[in-house]
A and B are shown apart, each in its own frame.
Chain A
Amino acid sequence: MAEPGRALPVPTPETKHFWDGTNAGELRLQRCDSCGKNYFPPRPFCATCGSRKVTVFKASGKAVLWSYVIHHRPVPGFKPPYAIAVVQLAEGPRMMSNIVECEQTPEALQLDMELEVVFEKQNDTVTLPFFRPAKG
C-alpha cells in the first residue's frame, strides 16, 4: 500500500536495473566478474577492484536485521513510531529498508532476526523493497 507523501527514488541509468527489478518482483544486486565481490548500491563497476566487468543478478531476498532506529517524529508518508532499518542481505551487502508485518517495537525488532524481502508498489513506476520476519 502506497503511503502518500513518502520520498520516492528517481532512477538513473546506473541504477535502472535495480528499480526495474523491484517492479518485476526481484531484488537485483551486482557481482564483480573479476574479483567476485557482491555489491550494493548499484554502479557499473566494482569499487573493490575497479573492474568494469560486472553482472546483475537476482538476490535471494533473505536477510538479517543489522541495526535500526524507531523514529518518533513526523515524516511525510510515515506514521510514527516506525523503524528505519539496515538489513544485511544473505549475499553480503547491506541496505536501508523498512520492516513490515512486524510491530515497530524494540521487543519485536531483534537484531539478527531473519527477514525476507517483500515488494510494495508505490505508483505506476516505483516499487520499494521492504523486509518482513522470515516465514521459513
Chain B
Amino acid sequence: MRRNAVAVVGAAETTQLGVIPDLSQIGLHADAALNAMADCGLRPKDIDGIATAGETPVQLAQYLGITPAWVDGTSVGGCSFMIHVRHAAAAIEAGLAKTILITHGESGKSRIGNPGRTVPPASLNGQFEQPFGPMGPPSMFTIPVLRYMKTYGVTEEQIAQVSVVQREWAAKNPRATFKTPITTEDVLNSRMIAYPFRLLMCCLVTDGGGALILTSAERARDFKTKPVYVLGTGESAEGPMVSQMEDFTSSRAFRVAGPTAFQQAGISASVKDVDHLMIYDAFAHLPIYGLEDLGFLPRGEAAAFIAGRNTAPGGSLPLNTNGGGLSFMHSGMYGMYALQESVRQLRGTAAAQVPNAKISVCHGVGGMFAASGTIIFSNQSP
C-alpha cells in the first residue's frame, strides 16, 4: 500500500461512555456510527463499505441503512478495528469502495444485547485450558507475566507504575472513568485478582462504542475535518491459547504487526520519529510487551522506561494519553478507543493534547496475545 493514500475523515465515540443502561449493544454501534457521520457530514447512503466486529457487518448494514459494496467482518478480538483500518485502506486504494465505515459498540458492563463469550468444550481451548480453571481475561492474559518478570528481573512495583502513570493521563481527560490520582502503594494494596495482578492492574469494564470513516486522501480534502492519513499498517495472529504462546516474554503477533507497519511507514520505532503512542492496555503488562515488541526498547527494559516517567505527561514518548483501558474505559474490545485517541491527537483535539503531534502509532492486541494490529497515522499532507 502507498503511504498516506487513505485518510480518516470521520471519527467519534458514543455520546456517553461508562454505564449506558438505555442502549443495547447494536444501539451503541449505531450511536457511534451516527456521531462519526455527523462529524464529517455524511449520511448512510454515502457509505459504500462497512467493517465491524462483535456484531456482524450484515446486521449493521441493515440497521444503519447502508448498502455496502464491500464488507469486512474480521473479528479477532480488541484489535479487530486496527485490522479493519488496514483492510479498509487497502480496499479504498484498490478501488473496491470509496467511503468505509468501521463501527464498534459493546455493552460490556450493562450487557444489554451482548451474547457474551462461551468456550465450547470440544474446542482446543475447551479441552486443554478451561478444565484448569481460567475465567476470562484477568486469569489468562496474565499467565505469561511471571515468566517475563523472572527473565528480566521486573518487579510488581514496576508493573504497578504502569497503572499509576496512566491514571495521570486519565486525570487530564474529562471523559475518563477514573480520574483520581493513585500511588504505587494504592495499586499494590488493591484487591488481588490473579497473582501477581491486582485490581488496579486490570482494565475497567464499561459500555461504549466508537466509529471511524475512511476515504481516499484526494477526497479527504473536501471534508471539513482535518484528515488523518494512514501512513503504515500491520496485522498478525498467533493463536487462541495463551498456554501455547511461542515465547512468554514476547508476543509473536506484535513482532509481526508492528515492524510491518513501521516498514510501510518508512519510520523507526523511536522517540525521534514517533510523537504519540497508543498500546492497547487491557492489563498493566501490555504496554511493557508492546514497547519492546514494537522495537522502541530492547527486551527487558520497558518496565524501567515507564517507571522512569518517559511515557508520563511531560515525558519523551507520550503513551496512552486518554488514560487507556486501565483508567479511561474498556468495553471488552478496546482497540477502537485507542484509534479514536490517535485521531484526536493528530487533529489537535485531544483532552491531553501532545503539542505538534504529527505521527501517532496505535497498536492493538486481540484475545490473550491471540492477534494484533498496528496502525501508524500522520497528519501531514501527502
Taking chain B's interface residues, is the majority helix, strand, or loop, or is none over half, making it mixed? mixed
* Inter-chain residue pair count (beta carbon < 8 A): 113
Q: Is A102 an interface residue (CB 8 A)?
A: no
User: For residues 79 through 132 of chain A, which have their beta carbon under 8 Å from a beta carbon of chain B?
Assistant: 81-82, 84-86, 94-98, 106, 111, 128
Assuming the A-B contacts A6-B133, A9-B121, are A72 and B146 also in contact, with contact meaning beta carbons closer than 8 angstroms in the complex? no
Q: Is B194 an interface residue (CB 8 A)?
A: yes
Nearest 4 CB-CB pairings of A with B: A9-B127, A70-B195, A69-B194, A67-B147
The answer for the CA separation of A76 and B127 in the assembled complex, in Å, is: 16
At the interface with chain B, which of A10-18, A26-34, A52-60?
A10-18
At the interface with chain A, which of B221-229, B240-248, B271-279, B318-326?
B240-248
Pick the residue among A12, A19, A95 that contacts B243 (CB under 8 A): A95
Pick the residue among B127, B131, B142, B248 that contacts A69 (CB under 8 A): B142
Besides A69-B146, A85-B132, 13 new A-B residue pairs in contact (Cβ under 8 A), listed by A number: A8-B121, A9-B121, A10-B120, A10-B126, A12-B122, A40-B128, A75-B135, A94-B243, A96-B129, A97-B132, A106-B196, A111-B150, A128-B132
Which residues of chain B have a CB within 8 Å of any CB of chain A? Answer: 119-122, 124, 126-135, 138-140, 142-147, 150, 191-197, 241-244, 248
B195 touches A10 (CB 8 A): no
Q: Which residues of A contact B132 (CB under 8 A)?
A: 84-85, 96-98, 128
A111 touches B244 (CB 8 A): no
Assuming the A-B contacts A9-B126, A67-B146, A69-B143, are A128 and B193 also in contact, with contact meaning beta carbons closer than 8 angstroms in the complex? no
Q: Which residues of B contact A67 (CB under 8 A)?
A: 143-147, 248
| Residue contacts A-B, CB under 8 angstroms, 7 given | A6-B131, A9-B130, A41-B244, A71-B139, A72-B191, A72-B195, A73-B194
Taking chain A's interface residues, is the majority helix, strand, or loop, or is none over half, making it mixed? loop
A84 touches B133 (CB 8 A): yes
B122 touches A10 (CB 8 A): yes
- CB-nearest residue of chain B to A69: B194
Which residues of chain A have a CB within 8 Å of any CB of chain B? Answer: 6-12, 15, 19, 40-41, 66-73, 75, 77-78, 81-82, 84-86, 94-98, 106, 111, 128
B129 touches A69 (CB 8 A): no
Most chain B C-beta atoms within 10 Å of own C-beta, residue among A12, A81, A86 = A86
Q: Which residues of A contact B193 (CB under 8 A)?
A: 71-73
Most chain B C-beta atoms within 10 Å of own C-beta, residue among A72, A98, A106 = A72
B195 touches A94 (CB 8 A): no
B195 touches A7 (CB 8 A): no
Assuming the A-B contacts A41-B241, A67-B145, are A128 and B135 also in contact, with contact meaning beta carbons closer than 8 angstroms in the complex? no
